[in-house]
Amino acid sequence: MKSKDRQGNVVSANEGQDKVIQALYGTAAGRQALKVLTNPLVSRLGGRFFDSRASVPLVSPFIDRNHIDMEQYEEEDYESYNHFFTRRVREGEREFSMEPQVLCAPCDSKLTVIPITREGTFAVKNTIYTMDSLLRSERLAGKYQGGTLLIFRLTVDDYHHYCYVDGGKKTRNYHIPGVLHTVNPAANEEYPIYTENAREFSILQSEHFGKVLMMEVGALMVGRIVNHHEEKEVSRGMEKGYFEYGGSTVILAFQPGQVVLHQDILANMADGFETVVRMGEAIGRKRER
């Protein structure tokens, strides 16, 4: 999906990243490569490389290729690619509104808004889900029917930390492991690869937006979710965690009657566009009763 900024301007897509994804999923050679790249041993070796000094030469070309404004970030002598990838913004960047009724974006991303219905489907990381299949829980999914799903798609050039959108009490984290297989168990090279990325979710009993379901979806291959807290009282704008190694996704689900999104975001969705948002930016409000 193409993206627009908050002023309505079409934003150029990360075409290099898109081409890699298309090659992996859409060609016989790519599907064979996926089987190798998602092997746990290969993923561990890849992680070790990205954590090593040997990966430092990747940093400068990555910054140039993705036009990353490093003035936003703390000055560091990066010791690995992953050290760079998990870099932190300078103090004063990405500040949250403390107005109780305002809903802020939890991360830098491209935002999609989906109404939640029992049979409704949506795409996350090149996989089509229903709420039941996303959560692997029909009972839990049912609690959000008629509500609103926000999908925050992070690309490799985004800031990869994410925050709580409100204060309240969160549950422990529930982990869903990723899977990789062909659509048909007897499939040959003409059939596509079907993936479910590893994901983790918890529920926030929030002060202003009801029971918010918060989910993080890891990147394919070496991507990793790092959440800081298990069951805990949290505050608005507190860092919840970050992603390592690769582009990932944050998902928020709200129960019916809790939030209303800003009109520019809804208009972009109606025209088939995601909306580029930044952590702490106002994207909606508590729905008035």
Question: Residues 165, 75: contact at Cβ < 8 Å?
Answer: no
| Cβ–Cβ under 8 Å, residues 273 and 3 | yes
Closest CA to 246 of 178, 146, 173, 191: 178
Reading the chain (289 residues) residue by residue, the pLDDT tens digits are 689 999 989 987 665 555 666 666 666 776 677 676 667 677 788 789 999 999 999 999 999 998 999 999 999 999 999 999 999 999 999 999 999 999 999 999 999 999 999 889 999 987 899 999 999 999 999 999 999 999 999 988 899 999 999 999 999 999 998 876 544 444 444 445 567 888 999 999 999 999 999 999 987 766 789 999 999 999 999 999 999 987 789 999 999 999 999 999 999 999 999 999 999 999 999 998 7
Please list the active-site residues. Answer: 108, 248
* CA–CA separation, 189 and 32 (whole Å): 9
Residue with tokens 């019916």: 256
In order, the DSSP letters of 80-91 are SHHHHHT--BPT
Q: How far is CA 77 from CA 31, 231, 284, in A?
A: 37, 34, 38
DSSP 288: P
CB 244 within 8 A of CB 86: yes
| Integer Cα distance of 93 and 228 in angstroms | 21
Euclidean distance between CA atoms 36 and 42, whole angstroms: 7
